[in-house]
Structure 1
Amino acid sequence: MEELPGQCNYLALGAARIQEIKLIVTKLEKCEHGGRAFQNLPRHMQRRTVSSNPKRLPRCLQERHMREGGANVKPSHRPRRKYRRRPSNLLAEYNRRQKDFVWLETHIWHAKRFHMKRQWGYALPDTPTCKGYRATLRAAKTSCLLQDVSYLCCIELEGPSMSLLDGLSCMMQPDSLALLNTSQVQHGQQWISVMLFEPGRQPYGALGDVDIQWHPKSSEMSETQLDNSKIWIWVHPSAHGHVIEALVQVFQLQKITIQSKDATTQETEMKMDGTKNIECDTTNEDVELKDKEGVCGTVEIMENLSNENAQNELLCTTLDDESVAENKKNVKHQKGRKDENTGSVDMLKLGKRNIPHERTPKYASSDNSITMTLLKDTLNRFRLTGPRSLSVLMAAFTPANIKPEPEDNIHSSCDKSNDSTQLWWKQCYHNEERVRGHHQQVSAWKKLASSHHFSRVVLPITIRDPRVTLPHKKGFFATLTADYVESIEHPDWPVVSPLYDRGLRDIITQSKEPDSLINKRRSQNLVPGSDMPEIPEENRLPILLLSRPPTFRKHGSGWDIVLAAGWGMSVWMPLVFCGGAAGGQQESQNLNMEMLSPMPPHLLPDTPAGSCYTTWLGEQRRIQFFRRPPASRYNFIKLGVQYPFYAPWKKLLQVWEPGTRDIFVLRDTRLLNGLAQQAGNATKAFKKCILKRKADNDLDEIPCKKLQMSLETTGEISSCSRDDASKGPHTEENPRKSHICDTQSKELPSHRCSIEELQKLSHGCLVMVKLILQYKGILEPCAMIYLPEEEDISTRENTMKPTDRKEGITELLHNDTQSEHRLKLKVEHNKIKGRIQHLRRKARSKVAREKDIVAAIQSGESIKKATADALDKIHEQNKEILAKYSSFQEEMENAWLMKINEPLQCCSRKIMGYIINGNFCQTLGRGAGIGWVALKPLLHFINLCKKISGKNVESSNEVQNDDNTVDAWRYAVLVRNPSSLQYHWAKMVIVVESQ
């Protein structure tokens, strides 16, 4: 290699001469190139990037880099981007990345617009990158918030209805079981949301809130099919495993293993459809699928293969070798095109799903009377929240035009697999009764706009392909009004849907047309952007619409959409284009506080999922806290905070109730309403009931009272609403009123009875509350709820004036008992560190003196081995010192926190609960938060407030006046953030709506 004057080996020179040599070389190169400046590297890649990746050099400098020794750099084996971005390779890469965390069908759309997080085995959207807290909340309050909740796991139970009810009765409370026994729920016209428990442990051992939906029965079913019933149970993924274990225990189920023959046949069929070898992930057992040539799933595929082989043999005999090779290439190319046109890409996208139905994990009892199928990742579910949810649905979906098919044509078309997969709606709607039912569903779909009060109804409907009716661009939509449509009183439409049939669901997924065909049809329109006419061969899509009731102040209502797998993006895009604002997991958590929506299982303190999530979240907060430098950390010892990262629910209850081993959350609506009325924040329906009850002199003559007492004596709990209380218990003729109305309007017995029952349940009981700050500030997670003293309440009532805005209660600074220990640890750690470094340096110098330098350079392994042996000997002799050195980090972290064995009540006020979610509440314009408090201190606090206000406990039936600010803020507690010594006054509201 030809070297320039002054160019030499930089490694042989000292560091002081490097810069000088660079200047000399630069001057010489300028002269060599005729005065042109030498092309320098960009500033951001001069050292780090280029040294690790020489390909980042400019092309004009890459040749010189190779001449100067860059040829020894190992080339990268990563394929080119052009190759990686091919559709087949890109799809295979996406499936590989779903090995640990399954993607939703809308994952790629969300990944471009959301912060993603991986949890519960899914990659979920967390929060939008271009929208804030207020934008998504405004959409849920005034417009429509759209969320993909397809991570909810569906469990299908099949068996005799009495057997299913007997098994589920062991996992529910009596009031939930009464809702499950109603006729409209069992007929599939309505769905319910109940809390499941471990078998026989109610109210302890909560598992999580689930949605239960019965399958309807049609007149075309046989006698054996009518005897059996099917139930869909929608479970949050955090509680999916616990619910499965409980169901297996209750019904005595055993897992059904997949036979190798069926698996091989299934794999070969999918290969013939243009798919690849797919393994099932949800069964937690690897099922080996072996390839066998010549095995086919249907007779038609065998005939096609034989015809193709015969044609190939004929071509081979008539053509010479070169023409045969060209013909094989053309046949292979045509086959690839055929696979692409038959929707193989859509099936490859579902490679990680349990599709078709044969791949779903199944459980069965010993006598096969009850079976359980895990439909996880086989159904999509979208959630729309807000007053304009129905308007978005009306704008995005168009009901399909279904015409009856003659029975002769249907029977003949059923023999052909192609017709059955492409025209499935002709099989389903083959008679006048089914077509009439479809028309009734469409008419009910048009009438639902004015029936917002009608909650938890199920409306099946078959719509046109949403890609065909997709708007040309995103725009505004018209809001439906009550004058636009007729009103309905009860669900009188048929609820039979093709989506309930497992065979039809697979056909609906597999017969989906590719997007290229839809785009080609759209491009043939004479007027761009105009509506596409409906043709007989166009795809139809069956969906289930589930309405949700409002949760708080008429907010939080909406609709859920259930559809088959493979159609996720096809339905998601029209909803977005028609006005839905997409949200993620963070938006769901915000709705829990703003609108008191139901809490998922991992946020409840008495569920196994809640305990696991609390432990994990506390560890994450601890790691984040100790990443800060010591000067930026809060000294929780001085602040008197023992648990700054999570809430110790068991220890809190053991302080108030010694001997408590297990905890539970109070979910009885009757008791919660009585407790809320005692705390002065009962619901309006409950206040009307109390006023009516107070107006009567004799409580024994009230029909509702007689009904309640009679049901209590028989062991049942009344579920009658305010409207039918005077009519006695509900019958099968009109069971709707027993569960359609909100649970907040249920009648209660006298409050003395409720107080006595609450005192009996105070052992290990938690009550969900919402706290609203009176003045400025926000509530942080793990904020402590304190029980105010008598002096605090009396002083606050005497000085409550509009001009007095000071909160003078502060916690005294605690003594830091660990400061000397931390200082001692640090000094000792530095001594140990210096001693170990000295011993290592001494061992290396001793090896250097004993070994010959010239010989060591020639044989580098000998001196390395000798040095390593010397260091190992030093480590062996100082095991105790090294163990103390390695445990320094853990000891120092523990010295920054209070000891766990110290008493919990270490502050001037006693802790009665904790906040789990706090922030600035947009709907109230104040800082607010949601948490739980122990029942025993809560009852003590209510009695203390009534004692100070000069009222009797016996006059507790008096209704509080919301207009009086003093009465509205009478039941206020003290709250303190973990990072502050200041106590804040906060109004306490008993949460009843979300239970």
Structure 2
Amino acid sequence: MESNLLCYDESHDGRVQLQNEVDSSQFNEERITEMKTMLRTMANTEKQTKLMHQSLPLHMRRRAMTYNPKRLPRKFRAIHLAQFNKSGLPEKKKRPSRKYRRKANVLLKEYERRKKTNVWLETHIWHAKRFHMLTKWGYKIPYTATAKSYRACYRATAKHCLLQDISYYGCIEIQGEESLLRSKLKEFCSEKVGLTIAAKAFLNGRRSGYIWLYEKNQYPFQCIGRVRFVWKANDAREKRTLWIFAHPIFYSKLVKHLVDAFDLKNTVFTPMDMNEPETTADTIPPRMVRTPKYVNNSLGVVILELKDTLNYFRLTGPLSHVTLSKALNIYPVSNASQSSHWYSDWIQCPINKRTAIEQLAFWDKVKHVTSTGEFGPGVVIGLVVEDPRLNRPNKRTKALPPTLVVPQHSFPDCTTQTALSPLWDSTIRDRIVKEMQTTHELNQLREKQCLVPGEKCAFENSIQPIPLLLIQNTGSQDGEFKRLGYGTGWDLIAPAGYGLALWQTLIIWGAKPAGLKEFDMQALEAGTDANMIPDTVLGQNEADFEYNKKLEKYFSRPHNRRVNYKKLAIASPFRSLWSQLVSEWNASKNSKFYVLRDQESLNKIHLSLDRKYNIKSVDLPPVCLVPVYLTIKTRGNPGDNALICLPHRQDFRQNKSQTQINDNGPVLVEPLRKDPFQKERHQLRKMHLRQLKRLRKRRIREKKNRQRKQPGTLVRIAKPQNRNLIQEQLAKMKELWLPAVPETIRNQCSRECFGYVTRTSFSLIEGKVTAVGYVTSRGLEKLFRICTKGSFKVLIRGTKTRCYRFATLKVRLE
């Protein structure tokens, strides 16, 4: 019977009509596949291994179904949850929101966890947001700012104030009788290098100094490194205290040598007794400080390791003193009666009260000094100042000296009282950390008591002051070598807990923050070597680190993308082989060498370069390296690890002719050499690939044979055991590319090599490319025979070029 009802299409003038009957046979044929699947599933219920979300059709599956049941259809969710609960899998918790993860207590726990691998400075949080951080020497150290600041940092050192956090330098405290300390410490240094720790200029505690330390009675060999020291100013000479600040690379080694020298025994670690301050978002509580202690009761000598217990800041530049005078307010003696902190107990002693009054009068006279260079070299000043968080302008302000200064009195002398500081007392340092108020607490007090914004509150007089120690840095004292006074400034030593507060106060008063990169820049601008000193522990460690990094990068490239140093006649492109160089110039197998630091010998060499002294009368040791400062005469930067070579007479004539026509090209181009191992490397590579291919075919053949014996099963074979084979091949290729012990260093190219450049950079002071390096004493004597007239010049050649260029040579004096 036909229906008169219209379908949807017919109502819109369509021609399609609904069927009135269904063909049962056709319908059953279309459903037969689904029925078979259903019957097979019902028959194998006991062997079913799929989960509910795995049994769904492919178009309904989602990747997130395993941990999010809401991705499944509603009717299957209960079965899915039952299956997962039966398997005993833990319930997936939702990841905490960012708001929760940024809470103060959660952040602090995360920070403490991350500090376990590398020590954080107190200014780490401030630096991590603005600087590239570097993992080095067991610390997280700021390397350089994320913004362009290289030239700005130079301008700060030359005209303004540069601020650096070098708190990774560790402090060693030695206590004992003065005569005993002087006699023992003399064994680690020499008077030929300069004033020692036992010099009278430093014993009164008014001045600090630098000294090169060696292993016991091993001068001039076995140099440990350069340290800064300061004696505690004290009239009683029987019992003295000495602080030594050492680099973290050789800090532990120096402690070991001192313990052995005084025959000390280690005692139990003494954690500082302090309460955990309230945790807030803007401050991190000081970590539990541990000071290892070594004692010898018979001699009365005690050594304390004060590493990571003091903040050590360095201010460099002519405005360093002005910045400090603006940022630091001397704590008035009258406020001691209004509070109950450590200062009220300390000031009760008449000697301490007299010291505080004298320091206040001294600072009032010198705080308007326009330059740090007006102070004596290495002057030590002790101050007790107000909390630096109370002395900040509303916005960042550059501290400037007064436009007109009328001297009303003569410059005051530094006395023993001005050099004293409560910072030397360990109990006071512990109380300072314990009684410190957090920034959050200060802000809460301001909200309650501050009626007029920006005005001083009444509670600020009761906040504890902090003791500081200021040590003057001399800077350049030779105007002919470098700009007079460049590098002058202050070293600021503060107790633990106040690092970030003091750092932010100095910055808001105009100091320019800098990192480790600017530290090296400053050393190069001053004409010194910061880290790459060949005979020191630090220099050897840094050289090995740079060598391994560059070598790994070199061999990570394909063989046809590597610089072929055999063709360039470069024996060691990534490190300076000082031992082999010295032994070749002396024609001996003795590999021991040292850097010449004898002031008398260096001054004689300096006079010889000015044609005022005969180099033959200096009597240089044959195994010493002479530190030199080089200035490239023409364009080009040879880079680090460049060769210092002796010129020929024809090179001087070529240079003279080029100078007349204003030609800045190279004086000499090294002829391209042939690589004697190129064919051997090609054959080894070819044989190695052929062997690997043969082993691979053997594994494939073995797999096919096993598959024939076990048809229908999955056959697995062991992984290729080619690791040793590949390692041996890599070692052979490395030796053919860059041998560990070259045939020769002195005669590796057409000009005799007698030294290496350790650091090279464009000097913003001189406007030229400058470098610091070391040359052998025998090679320097030969240079004197070659350069009979005019200035002394050497040839410099980079490791990636064949061009030689002339450079003038000077001797670096301490």
**1:621 is aligned with what amino acid?**
K
How far does residue 549 in structure 1 lie from its aligned partner after superposition?
A: 0.7
Instruction: Please report how far the alpha carbon of residue 226 of structure 1 lies from its aligned counterpart in structure 2 after TM superposition.
Output: 4.6
Cα deviation for residue 120 of structure 1 reads: 1.2
User: How far apart in 2 are the matches of 1:647 and 1:113?
Assistant: 35
Aligned to 2:247: 236
Q: What is the CA distance between 1:898 and its match in structure 2?
A: 4.5
Flag as ranges the 4+ runs of structure 1 deviating above 6 A: 50-55, 59-64, 66-74, 343-346, 428-431
Q: Select the residue among 361, 382, 390 that pairs with 2:313.
A: 382
- Letter in structure 2 aligned against 1:390: H
The percent identity for this pair of structures is 28
Query: How far off is 1:430 after superposition?
Result: 8.2
Match of 1:609?
538
Cα-to-partner distance string for 1:347-396 (whole Å, 9 max, x where unaligned): x7322x52xxxx31111236142111111011101001111111211221
2:443 aligned with 1:505, yes or no?
A: no
SS of residue in 1 equivalent to 2:802: coil
Rounded to whole Å, the distance in 1 between the matches of 2:562 and 2:333 is 67
Matching of residue 245 in structure 1 with residue 256 in structure 2? yes
Say which of 472, 492, 508 aligns to 1:577: 508
**Residues 541-580 of structure 1 aligned to structure 2 (within 5 Å):** 541-551=466-476, 552-553=482-483, 554-580=485-511
Structure 1 residues 434 and 565, CA, compared in 2 at 3 Å: closer, same or farther? same
Matches within 5 A, 1:346-745: 349-351=285-287, 353-354=288-289, 359-365=290-296, 367-403=298-334, 419-420=340-341, 423=344, 426-427=347-348, 432-446=353-367, 448-449=369-370, 452-453=373-374, 454-480=376-402, 483=405, 487-488=410-411, 490-492=413-415, 494-523=418-447, 524-530=449-455, 535-551=460-476, 552-553=482-483, 554-597=485-528, 599-600=529-530, 602-657=531-586, 658-680=588-610
TM-score, normalised with respect to structure 1: 0.69
In the TM superposition, what is the alpha-carbon distance from 1:194 to its structure 2 partner? 0.9
Distance 1:130 1:821, change over 3 A: same
Q: Supply the distance in 1 between the matched residues of 2:66 and 2:469 (Cα, whole angstroms).
A: 57
3-state secondary structure, aligned to 1:238: coil
C-alpha distance in 2 between matches for 1:460 and 1:771: 40
Question: Does the Cα contact within 8 Å between 1:447 and 1:488 map onto a contact in 2?
Answer: no
What is the TM-score normalised by the length of structure 2?
A: 0.84
Task: State the alpha-carbon separation in 1 of the partners of residues 73 and 427 from structure 2.
Answer: 63
Gaps of 5+ in 1: 10-24, 30-49, 219-224, 276-338, 414-418, 682-689, 691-750, 857-862, 876-880, 950-966
**Matched letter for residue 662 of structure 2:** T
Aligned in 2, Cα 1:794/1:762: closer, same or farther, shift over 3 Å? farther
2:170 aligned with 1:153: yes
**In 2 relative to 1, CA 456–421 (structure 1 residues): closer, same or farther, beyond 3 Å?**
closer
**Deviation (angstroms), 1:203:** 1.5
Is 1:945 equivalent to 2:787 in the alignment?
A: yes
2:617 paired with 1:756: yes
The alpha carbon displacement at 1:651 in A equals: 0.8
Hey, what's the Cα distance between the residues in 1 that align with 2:410 and 2:458?
30
Residue 883 (structure 1) aligned with residue 724 (structure 2) = yes
Q: Does 1:803 align with 2:662?
A: yes
Contact 1:918/1:928, CA 8 A, preserved across alignment: yes
Ranges in structure 2 where 5+ consecutive residues have no aligned partner: 1-32, 38-56, 477-481
Q: Provide the rounded CA distance (Å) in 1 between the counterparts of 2:326 and 2:66.
A: 55
Distance 1:804 1:158 in 2: 64
Please give the alpha-carbon distance, in whole angstroms, between the structure 2 residues aligned to 1:558 and 1:915. 28
Aligned equivalent of 1:982: 803
CA deviation profile, 1:708-732 (whole Å, cap 9, x unmatched): xxxxxxxxxxxxxxxxxxxxxxxxx
1:340 counterpart = 2:278:
yes
**Structure 1 pair 882/649, CA: closer, same or farther in 2 (3 Å)?**
closer
Q: Deviations over 1:214-234 (max 9, x none)?
A: 00115xxxxxx6511110011
Q: Does residue 128 of structure 2 align to residue 199 of structure 1?
A: no
* Superposed displacement of residue 78, structure 1: 6.1
1:606–1:372 CA distance, 2 compared to 1 (3 A): same
Paired residues of 1:405 and 1:430 also in contact (CA < 8 A) = no
Q: Matches of 2:73 and 2:467 in 1, distance apart?
A: 63
User: Do the aligned partners of residues 422 and 365 (structure 1) sit closer, same or farther apart at CA in structure 2, a change above 3 Å counting?
Assistant: closer
What's the offset of the Cα at 1:793?
A: 2.6
2:794 is the counterpart of 1:973: yes
Separation (CA, whole Å) in 2 of partners of 1:148 and 1:420:
28
Q: Distance in 1 between matches of 2:602 and 2:608?
A: 10
* Helix, strand or coil at the partner of 1:387: coil
After superposition, residues 101-112 of structure 1 pair within 5 angstroms as 101-112=118-129
Say whether the 8 Å CA contact 1:364–1:372 is kept in structure 2: yes
Hey, what's the Cα distance between the residues in 2 that align with 1:88 and 1:484?
54
Letter in structure 2 aligned against 1:645: F
1:926 and 1:882 map into 2 onto residues whose CA distance is 50
- Note the C-alpha offset of 1:679: 1.8
1:751-807 Cα shifts (integer Å, max 9, x gaps): 34x7423x3x33211111121111111121111111112322344346542624332
Q: Distance in 2 between matches of 1:589 and 1:646?
A: 19
1:780 has 2:639 as partner: yes
Give the Å deviation of 1:669: 2.4
**Matches of 2:515 and 2:372 in 1, distance apart?**
28
Q: After alignment, is 912-921 or 70-79 more displaced? A: 70-79
Q: 1:94 aligns with which of 111, 127, 131?
A: 111
Amino acid at match of 2:399: F
Structure 1 contact 451–487 (Cα < 8 Å) conserved:
no
Q: Is the 8 A contact 2:124 2:140 kept in 1?
A: yes
- 1:974·1:985 contact (CA, 8 Å) conserved in 2? yes
Alignment check: 8 A CA contact 1:423 1:537 kept: no
Instruction: Summarize the Cα distance change of 1:798–1:942 in structure 2 as closer, same or farther, 3 Å threshold.
Output: farther
Q: What is the CA–CA distance in structure 2 between the aligned matches of 1:510 and 1:484, rounded to whole Å?
A: 44
Cα distance change of structure 1 residues 490 and 755 upon mapping to structure 2, 3 Å threshold: farther
Counterpart in 2 of 1:823?
A: 682
CA deviation string 1:545-564 (max 9, x = no partner): 11101133121111110010
Aligned to 1:953: none
1:836 to 695, 701, 705: 695
* Alignment coverage as a number of residue pairs: 740
> In 2 relative to 1, CA 98–899 (structure 1 residues): closer, same or farther, beyond 3 Å?
closer
Q: CA deviation at 1:446?
A: 2.1
State whether residues 194 and 599 of structure 2, in contact with CA within 8 Å, keep that contact through their aligned partners in structure 1: no
Q: Compare the two structures and name the one with the higher helix fraction.
A: 1
Q: What is the CA deviation profile of residues 46-87 of structure 1, one whole-angstrom value per residue up to 9, with x for unaligned ones?
A: xxxx979999x9x997989x9899998984786554443332
Change (3 A) 1:350 1:432: closer
Residues of 2 paired with 1:667 and 1:897: CA distance? Answer: 33
CA distance in 1, matches of 2:592, 2:93: 58
Query: Who is 2:51 aligned against?
Result: none
Pairing 1:119–2:136 present: yes
Do structure 1's residue 765 and structure 2's residue 782 form an aligned pair? no
Give the AA of the match of 2:424.
Answer: Y
Check whether the contact 1:95–1:349 (CA below 8 A) recurs between aligned residues: no
